Chains A and B, each alone.
Chain A
Amino acid sequence: MSILVLADLHEGQLAGATAHVITAAKAIGGDIDVLVAGDSVHAAAEAAAKLDGVSNVRVADNAVYAHQLAEPMSALLAALADGYSHVLASASTTGKNVLPRLAALKDVSQLSDIIAVESADTFKRPIYAGNAIATVKSDDTLKVITVRTTGFDACPDRERDSGSAPIEAVDVVVENSQSCFVKEELAQSDRPELSGAKIVISGGRGMGNGDNFKLLDGIADKLGAAIGASRAAVDAGFVPNDMQVGQTGKIVAPDLYIAVGISGAIQHLAGMKDSKVIVAVNKDEEAPIFQVADYGLVGDLFEILPELESKL
């Protein structure tokens, strides 16, 4: 068996998610090749070659793959897939965008968001906003899979003296006249990336307004935490949507998740209930979030947050 992993890129660099997908690939077993596709991605390819367990890095460096648009990316993967038993990508917005398109081009099903590998053809994945776990078996010859990164640890880099995997260029260049990139507005932040952060502090509708999210800044800085939000806070316009944690936003599983002014709707719990320790701060002691919280503090967040910041 051999597995092709599509590398995740963030602003041209290799993103942390890739190392988690490699771990899922190792659990399946077989040779693991990583495809790095984009425009000017040499540094990302070198970083991928250092990951433990990677056999080969294949690089498709061409302007047509810039921004990893679905049409050229799926055509590229379809051209390369024949030698592989599995194609894996993280369940990032890129993986979700590209892999189902690849699967349909190959006339196979796609398995989304797997959280465990039972065997080379059997996997576990959450359904119904994480309220049930399905075990599914695929009899397709090619398995196309997206991986929930919080379900697998990141694979380490190789030992320093064991070199790195060979890097080879892929000369498949596809045409794309159907879609083109116009612009990107990326949120700028010095804080750790939400999905990879060890500590996350999130605000909900209880924050009242966008300005009050500043109350979380000092605490996040002291803890080295990322800041998240519930859908209610995003819909109310308090914060941008890329901060949303939940079924339709990001899935996080940090060591510590602090939910402030969040009631704990099913859709929010789907995004954070695999966190190691959950703390809830809410003035409503009946709020459902307290049913999953390891530590709950009932009270006014406008008094609690400044006190917490000063005492950390």
Chain B
Amino acid sequence: MKVLVAVKRVIDYNVKIRVKADHSDVDLTNVKMAMNPFCEIAVEEAVRLKEKGVATEVVVVTVGPKAAQEQLRTALALGADRAIHIETDERAESLAVAKLLAKVVEEEQPGLVVLGKQAIDTDNNQTGQMLAALTGLPQGTFASEVAVDGDKVNVTREIDGGLQTIALTLPAIVTTDLRLNEPRYAKLPDIMKAKKKPLDVKNPADYGVEVASKVSLLKVESPAERKGGVKVASVDELIDKLKNEAKVL
């Protein structure tokens, strides 16, 4: 079966972000960008399914600016077979991305779609669930284990109290949690080979999808700073401070 993976270009997870002076958004100029960590895990899972002989082809897709093609090339270097870039400079909200991905699902007819559980920039945790709703497919979110078994997939999910396993009929949508796998690094020869793999460029109008959203971003501000505390010299001093100064014991 074919596996479709959605990836997103985001600010590198190690970067300390800056809010723009006019509070319109976070400043992304000259900031290191990378593939969203949860998306890397999604690519890895798809490539592993191919290595196991479960998947026949891995198609990777992204919605975003031209520069997002770097992340598609990364996915191709990691083992994806071909890529689709839906190019837009607009701020695409989860619902618009899900609508675009739903069109790709309709066209490509994958047996399984794998996405990250959330992007570390917007922290929405929505797109996979929305895609499942729009395509009418079942969903296995926050997956820490994915086992394809004939026309079903067993997904072990990380839930608040522990783990839950559900069985979904294929085709299905899966979103990855951090513990699903350990993504590999791309080797130089694979990076070179990835440059020759097919990458289709489309735009939202090709799919007849409006990217504009009914949610507007009014303001972005820094959170309240915690003021620096004090160092204590001993356990006794710590307990004393917690009892008498902070009054939390």
Q: Which residues of A contact B (CB under 8 A)?
A: 10-11, 67, 69-71, 74, 92-94, 96-105, 107-113, 122, 126-140, 177-187, 195, 199, 223, 231, 234-235, 240-242, 247-248, 250, 255-256, 266-267, 273, 276-279, 285, 290-298, 304, 307-308, 311-312
Alpha-carbon separation in the docked complex, A186 to B162 (Å): 4
In contact, A126 and B123 (Cβ under 8 angstroms): yes
Residue among B14, B131, B178 having the largest count of chain A Cβ atoms under 10 Å: B178
Q: Which residues of B contact A (CB under 8 A)?
A: 11, 13-14, 16-17, 19, 26, 93-95, 98, 117-118, 120-134, 137-142, 144, 154, 157-169, 172, 177-179, 213-223, 226, 228-232, 234-236, 238-239, 241-242, 246, 248-249
B126–chain A nearest beta-carbon distance, Å: 4
Task: A180 to B153: give the CA distance in the assembly, Å.
Answer: 11
Which residues of the partner chain B approach A183 to less than 8 Å between Cβ atoms?
164-165
CA distance A293 to B232 in the complex (A): 11
**Between A and B, how many residue pairs show CB distances below 8 Å?**
257
Q: A93-B158, A109-B93 known; A308 and B166 CB under 8 Å?
A: no
| Distance between Cα atoms of A241 and B162 in the complex (Å) | 7
Point out the residue from A10, A231, A255, A296 that lies within 8 Å of B230, measured CB to CB: A296
Whether the pair A312, B239 counts as a contact (CB closer than 8 A) is: yes
B158 proximity list for chain A (CB < 8 A): 93, 241-242
User: What residue of chain B has the Cβ atom nearest to residue A270's Cβ?
Assistant: B123
Q: How far is the CB of B142 from chain A (nearest CB, A)?
A: 6
Return B157 CB to nearest CB of chain A, in Å: 8
What CA separation (Å) do A285 and B230 show in the bound complex? 12
Chain B residues within an 8 Å CB radius of A11: 161
CA–CA, A235 and B41, complex, Å: 14
Contact A104–B229 (Cβ < 8 Å): no
Q: Nearest chain-A residue to B157 (Cβ)?
A: A93
Instruction: Tell me the bound Cα distance from A240 to B140 in angstroms.
Output: 20
Chain A residues, CB < 8 A from B117: 248
- A110-B94, A178-B168 in contact; A122/B218 too (CB < 8 A)? yes
CB-CB under 8 A from A273, the residues of chain B are 223, 226
Q: Report how far A137 CA is from B230 CA in the complex, Å.
A: 39
Is the beta-carbon distance between A292 and B214 smaller than 8 angstroms?
no
| Given known A-B contacts A248-B177, A295-B238, A109 and B125 have beta carbons under 8 A apart | no
The reply to whether B13 and A267 contact each other, CB–CB distance below 8 Å, is yes
B132 nearest CB neighbor, chain A only:
A101
Pick from B26, B160, B215, B223 the residue with the most CB of A within 10 Å.
Answer: B160
Let me know if A97 and B129 touch, CB within 8 A.
yes
B161 with A187: CB separation less than 8 A: yes
Contact A137 B141 (CB under 8 A): no
Report B-chain residues with C-beta under 8 Å of the C-beta of A139: 214-216
